[in-house]
């Protein structure tokens, strides 16, 4: 669903058939997203007169079974083998010496591990107290970071009669997370290190927080415990009015966790710090606030879904959710594993989807990697031998039928048998203490 916009005619009829078929939905989506975005719309013919312009591909995409179109302004895809207008090629890759200001280093890839380390140290300091959690996200995060006008034209796109210039950064540019995370990390730093935090007035969202019933003493006595070592000794100032806090952020997603006594203060600081960096609701009443109240979860929990995993602070477990397991089971069902004579062959795309989803789950289930190694090696070998033009390779991914040896099918059948509805199935859970860096207990 692409539109060649670097050499496009001015007529809206130049839309590809697929994009034209979804034009009404695209219009509706654009209308909704304009409430969050900051765009300058100009008559389409003016793109020929804008100095330094790089027109990006305009795409729509559908995720899983969601019928709602997602809009993508893609600065990373060349239109042809001779195309030098790929915007991302003009931006240096991360960590190139001497060019940090153009693409600052980012660290959100460790957010989940940092959060688990924080929970481990909370449990060390509060062995019998319940640890409560809440996740939040910044609404339309990238669009809060504005482009300089001379840079904005590098991310233009065209839709029908308009050339669209983004005033706020887009998702998909090589430096989008880098620029955003300077503000995102500043928010986390402010929330963690603000002195005398208890004296900050409660934000409206923090007043709505509801806690679950307290666990009984008998239940608290069963809480899984953490073990101290040279790397983990608990949190700072655990018994004062201003204990240590952490707010690990994965781009726009953050999670707060603390004891029942302090969780409201931590959440209040998270909201307050976000508004300090991205603006208070009264400053832009026509747009949703940076922490959108329509998406705000008021109930703090012992079990939180964060970055695709369930985290249980009573059992100190990380769990691969049931919906992910169901999705993997459905993908494996397409291989006819239960039939005595399974269907011949699978497409490379079908096998790659299985491997991709499973790789996510193997964060807590290393056995899954072992059971798919043969499949991974076979797919890698076939992909390395695939040849031809990009269009031929695209057809190859969807139409080529790959033979599946019996040893691979046995491994996948064994894997499929573990995908039950037991949330705490030990094959799909792992103790936090086995996921974070710790001193060895044996040599």
Query: Residues 342, 313: one domain?
Result: no
Is the confidence at residue 13, as pLDDT, over 60? no
Query: Residues 292, 414: one domain?
Result: no
What's the Cα-to-Cα distance from 324 to each of 73, 319, 365, rounded to whole Å? 28, 10, 13
Query: Residues 213, 283: one domain?
Result: yes
Is the confidence at residue 7, as pLDDT, over 50? no
Query: Residues 297, 359: one domain?
Result: no
> Global pTM?
0.89
Least-confidence region, from 66-70, 72-76, 149-153: 66-70
Establish if 42 belongs to a structural domain. no
Q: Show the tokens assigned to 343.
A: 């269907």
Q: What is the pLDDT of residues 370-419, one digit of tens each?
A: 888 888 888 888 777 766 655 566 677 777 777 777 888 888 888 899 99
Q: What is the pLDDT of residues 223-232, one digit of tens each?
A: 999 999 999 9
What's the total number of domains in the chain? 2
Establish if 92 belongs to a structural domain. no
Least-confidence region, from 33-42, 106-115, 234-243: 33-42
Dist. CA 377–CA 131, nearest whole Å = 42
Dist. CA 273–CA 26, nearest whole Å = 34
Q: Show the tokens assigned to 342.
A: 């399974």
Which pLDDT band, with edges at 50, 70 and 90, does 92 fall under?
Answer: confident
Beta carbons within 10 angstroms of residue 46's beta carbon = 12
Q: Residue 388 is part of which domain span?
A: 322-434
Helical spans, DSSP H, in 39-175: 111-125, 149-152
Query: Residues 333, 313: one domain?
Result: no
Establish if 200 belongs to a structural domain. yes
Establish if 166 belongs to a structural domain. no
Query: Residues 221, 312: one domain?
Result: yes
Establish if 381 belongs to a structural domain. yes
Query: Residues 311, 341: one domain?
Result: no
Which pLDDT band, with edges at 50, 70 and 90, does 257 fall under?
Answer: very high
Is the confidence at residue 14, as pLDDT, over 60? no
Is the confidence at residue 428, as pLDDT, over 90? yes
Q: What is the pLDDT of residue 40?
A: 87
Which pLDDT band, with edges at 50, 70 and 90, does 322 fall under?
Answer: very high
Establish if 348 belongs to a structural domain. yes
Is the distance from CB of 313 to CB of 120 less than 8 angstroms? Answer: no
Which pLDDT band, with edges at 50, 70 and 90, does 102 fall under?
Answer: confident
Dist. CA 441–CA 443, nearest whole Å = 7
The 3-state DSSP class for residue 144 equals helix
Establish if 38 belongs to a structural domain. no
- In this predicted model, which residue has the larger pLDDT, 443 or 305? 305
Instruction: Enumerate residues 6+ apart whose C-beta is below 8 A from 196.
Output: 242
Query: Residues 196, 327: one domain?
Result: no
Query: Residues 204, 261: one domain?
Result: yes
Which pLDDT band, with edges at 50, 70 and 90, does 298 fall under?
Answer: very high
Q: Which residues pair with 258 in a beta bridge?
A: 132
Q: What is the pLDDT of residue 6?
A: 43
Mean residue pLDDT of the chain comes to 86
Pick from 273, 296, 319: which residue ends a domain? Answer: 319
Pick from 304, 319, 334: which residue ends a domain? Answer: 319
Dist. CA 202–CA 75, nearest whole Å = 41
Establish if 206 belongs to a structural domain. yes
Instruction: Enumerate residues 6+ apart whose C-beta is below 8 A from 123.
Output: 131, 223, 224, 225, 226, 313, 316
Q: What is the pLDDT of residue 60?
A: 77
Which pLDDT band, with edges at 50, 70 and 90, does 276 fall under?
Answer: very high
Query: Residues 332, 403: one domain?
Result: yes
Q: What is the pLDDT of residue 3?
A: 35
Q: What is the pLDDT of residue 341?
A: 52
**Across 198-216, average pLDDT:** 94
Pick from 301, 319, 337: which residue ends a domain? Answer: 319
Is the confidence at residue 166, as pLDDT, over 50? yes
**Across 275-294, average pLDDT:** 91
**Which stretch of DSSP H or E encloses residue 287?**
none
Q: What is the pLDDT of residue 338?
A: 63
Which DSSP symbol is given to 440? Answer: -
Q: What is the pLDDT of residue 404?
A: 74
Query: Residues 376, 421: one domain?
Result: yes
Exposed/middle/buried for 273, CB within 10 Å: 0-12, 13-18, 19+? buried
Query: Residues 402, 313: one domain?
Result: no
């Amino acid at each position: 669903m692409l539109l060649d916009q670097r050499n496009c005619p001015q007529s809206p009829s130049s839309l590809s058939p697929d994009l034209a078929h979804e034009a009404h939905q695209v219009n509706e989506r654009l209308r909704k997203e304009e409430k969050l975005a900051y765009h300058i719309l100009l008559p389409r013919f003016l793109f020929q007169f804008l100095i330094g312009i790089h027109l990006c591909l305009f795409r729509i995409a559908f995720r899983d079974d969601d019928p709602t179109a997602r809009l993508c302004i893609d600065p990373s895809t060349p239109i042809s083998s001779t195309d030098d207008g790929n915007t991302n090629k003009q931006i240096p890759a991360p960590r190139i010496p001497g060019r940090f200001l153009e693409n600052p280093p980012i660290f959100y890839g460790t957010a989940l591990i940092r959060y688990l380390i924080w929970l481990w140290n909370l449990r060390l300091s509060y062995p019998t107290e319940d640890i409560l959690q809440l996740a939040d996200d910044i609404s339309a995060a990238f669009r809060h970071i504005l482009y300089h006008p001379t840079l904005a034209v590098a991310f233009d796109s065209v839709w029908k009669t308009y050339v669209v210039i983004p005033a706020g950064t887009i998702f998909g540019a090589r430096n989008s997370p880098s620029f955003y995370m300077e503000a995102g990390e500043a928010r986390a730093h402010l929330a963690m290190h603000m002195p005398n935090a208890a004296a900050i007035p409660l934000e409206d969202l923090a007043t709505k927080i509801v806690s679950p019933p307290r666990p009984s003493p008998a239940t608290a006595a069963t809480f899984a415990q953490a073990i101290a070592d040279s790397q983990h000794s608990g949190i700072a100032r655990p018994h004062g009015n201003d204990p240590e806090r952490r707010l690990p952020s994965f781009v726009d997603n953050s999670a707060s966790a603390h004891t029942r006594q302090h969780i409201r203060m931590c959440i209040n600081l998270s909201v307050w710090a976000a508004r300090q960096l991205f603006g208070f609701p009264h400053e832009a009443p026509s747009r949703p606030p940076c922490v959108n109240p329509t998406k705000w979860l008021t109930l703090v929990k012992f079990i939180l879904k964060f970055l695709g995993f369930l985290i249980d602070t009573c059992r100190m477990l990380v769990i691969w959710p049931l919906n992910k397991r169901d999705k993997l089971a459905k993908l494996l069902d397409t291989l006819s594993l239960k039939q005595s004579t399974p269907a011949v062959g699978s497409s490379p795309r079908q096998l790659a989807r299985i491997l991709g989803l499973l790789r996510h789950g193997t964060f807590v289930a290393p056995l899954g990697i072992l059971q798919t190694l043969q499949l991974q090696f076979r797919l890698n070998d076939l992909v390395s031998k695939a040849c031809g033009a990009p269009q031929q390779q695209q057809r190859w991914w969807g139409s080529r039928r790959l033979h599946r040896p019996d040893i691979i099918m046995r491994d996948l059948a064994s894997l499929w048998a573990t995908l039950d509805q037991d949330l705490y199935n030990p094959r799909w859970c792992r103790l936090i203490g086995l996921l974070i860096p710790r001193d060895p207990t044996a040599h």
